[in-house]
Amino acid sequence: MYIVDPQAAREAMRSAFGAERYAKFVSELNGRCQAKKRLFYWQESMWDQVQKTLGTHITDFEEVSNLFRHCHVHGSELKSELVPVLYGTHQLTGKYIDTMESLFPHANSVFLGPCWHESPTERKVFFCELCREAREKWEAQRGA
């Protein structure tokens, strides 16, 4: 097992690929990748490149996840909890998605399930408390 400082891994990834690609890496890792328990191919390629600079070879999904389990907007570590699964068709506007990605990407107070109903009523998510506060503030300003 390799010991890697999470801050060093995060900074190496951000330096190698820039803030935008880093944000996508972290968001997907702490979102859709959790259900699959694996990185996407493009993330594996990024991680392989960064590992060369760090002198490591970590392939275990949980170990990689733990290194990047933080909010790239607020800098805080993510926490986990069970949240309700909302089944059905969810249509989020492009403007809302852009706002969410830039202000509160890890609010995650619900999990949007598929359009068909499955048995789980709750799902484990990773969330940022500051993202939740930012979303509440944004919704209050909009009168939502």
Amino acid 144: pLDDT? 59
What pLDDT shows up at residue 2?
54
pLDDT of residue 53 exceeding 60, the answer is yes
Q: How far apart are CA 4 and CA 66, in angstroms?
A: 10
CA angle 26-28-42, nearest 5°?
Answer: 90
Identify the residue with better confidence: 96 or 44. Answer: 44
Q: Give me 110's structure tokens.
A: 């619900």
**Selection from 92, 86, 85 nearest residue 122 by Cα:** 85
For 80-131, write each residue's pLDDT tens digit: 999 888 788 888 888 888 888 899 999 988 777 777 777 788 888 899 999 9
Contact 1, 59 (CB under 8 A): no
Residue 26 CA: distances (Å) to CA of 21, 37, 50, 73: 9, 14, 14, 10
* Mean pLDDT over the full length of the chain: 90
